């Protein structure tokens, strides 16, 4: 008969007791040792940058993260298994953190982008931008606002989004990118690169697993990829990325034995109808209680 591994919480098997670890909780750093990504960063907008354009760029980057984060958060309690439920919501939280910093930066660069709040509302500027703008004022790409499909659809969308976003963030931390001369944006990107690298790893591994898994998983993955691919051009244009993205995507496609889709880009611009419904749900509580303090 075999037995399960020793339970660390059990009195006979605990290794958390004070005799071994002492009472110094810094061993585990619960709630301590967090880093402020903007610590020591000069928040003045550099003279060579146009504040309005910088704000617009930060809004675009922030809105993409916010909307993708919300779509991913819709998986909470609905993912195929507990571990991926947590993984997807972790990614959503990373992106929400990026959105918060980027929207705050947009507001700092150009305060006129922040919508007027109902009188007495204590909402900070990033909340005002997230919850009190109308759909037409959001600058996110359509790829991130599409309603969720199945898990394979989410993986295909996530792979495209984070591959492109990571390429742009990697450029933002170098002098080659004009926006990188904003020290705040560069610091946000430096933090984001580490997060997005993990997101890409997660999406890439699942892409391969689904592609080479069962007939059904492959069918679903190809269907998901086909449904998001027409918005791939819009995404690339928004981030102004080039062949460095193809190197990554082609590698994932090659190991997965998936053909790069040849589908015409979706025409038009602006937002989809589904985006308005998503915003209505995302914003309803903040708008119903504008004086609420969260």
Helices and strands counted in the chain (H then E): 10, 0
89: which 2 tokens? 């919501």
Cα distance between residue 170 and residue 165, in whole Å: 9
- Tell me whether residue 138 or residue 202 sits nearer to another protein (CB atom): 202
Cα distance between residue 65 and residue 238, in whole Å: 13
224: which 2 tokens? 């998901």
- Tell me whether residue 103 or residue 203 sits nearer to another protein (CB atom): 203
Cα distance between residue 294 and residue 291, in whole Å: 10
- The nearest distance, CB 28 to another protein, in angstroms, is 5
Q: Applying CB under 8 A, which residues contact another protein?
A: 1-6, 8, 12, 15-16, 20-22, 26-34, 81-84, 86-87, 90, 198, 201-202, 205, 209
- The nearest distance, CB 22 to another protein, in angstroms, is 7
- Tell me whether residue 18 or residue 48 sits nearer to another protein (CB atom): 18
Which DSSP letter does residue 1 get? -
- Tell me whether residue 24 or residue 119 sits nearer to another protein (CB atom): 24
Q: Which residues contact residue 198 at a Cβ distance below 8 angstroms, ignoring those fewer than 6 apart?
A: 94
- Tell me whether residue 4 or residue 267 sits nearer to another protein (CB atom): 4
Neighbours of 215 (CB within 10 A): 7
Cα distance between residue 131 and residue 126, in whole Å: 9
């Amino acid at each position: 008969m075999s037995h399960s591994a020793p339970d660390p919480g059990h009195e006979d098997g605990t290794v958390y007791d004070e005799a071994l670890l002492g009472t110094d909780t810094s061993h585990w750093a619960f709630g301590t040792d967090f880093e402020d990504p903007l610590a020591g960063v000069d928040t003045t907008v550099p003279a060579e940058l146009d504040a309005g354009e910088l704000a617009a760029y930060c809004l675009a980057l922030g809105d993409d993260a916010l909307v993708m984060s919300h779509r991913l958060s819709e998986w909470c309690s609905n993912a195929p298994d507990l571990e991926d439920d947590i993984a997807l919501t972790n990614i959503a939280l990373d992106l929400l953190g990026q959105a918060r910093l980027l929207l705050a930066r947009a507001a700092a660069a150009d305060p006129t982008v922040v919508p007027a709040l109902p009188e007495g509302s204590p909402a900070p500027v990033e909340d005002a931008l997230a919850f009190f703008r109308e759909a037409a004022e959001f600058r996110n790409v359509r790829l991130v606002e599409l309603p969720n499909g199945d898990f394979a659809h989410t993986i295909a969308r996530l792979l495209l989004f984070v591959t492109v976003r990571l390429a742009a963030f990697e450029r933002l931390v170098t002098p080659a990118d004009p926006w990188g001369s904003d020290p705040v944006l560069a610091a946000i990107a430096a933090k984001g690169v580490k997060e997005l690298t993990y997101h890409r790893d997660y999406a890439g591994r699942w892409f391969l697993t689904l592609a080479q898994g069962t007939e059904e998983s492959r069918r679903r993955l190809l269907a998901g990829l086909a449904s998001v691919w027409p918005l791939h051009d819009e995404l690339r244009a928004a981030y102004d990325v080039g062949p460095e993205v193809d190197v990554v995507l082609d590698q994932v496609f090659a190991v997965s034995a998936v053909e790069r889709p040849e589908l015409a880009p979706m025409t038009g611009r602006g937002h989809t109808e589904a985006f308005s419904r998503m915003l209505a749900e995302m914003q309803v509580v903040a708008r119903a209680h504008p004086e609420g303090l969260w």
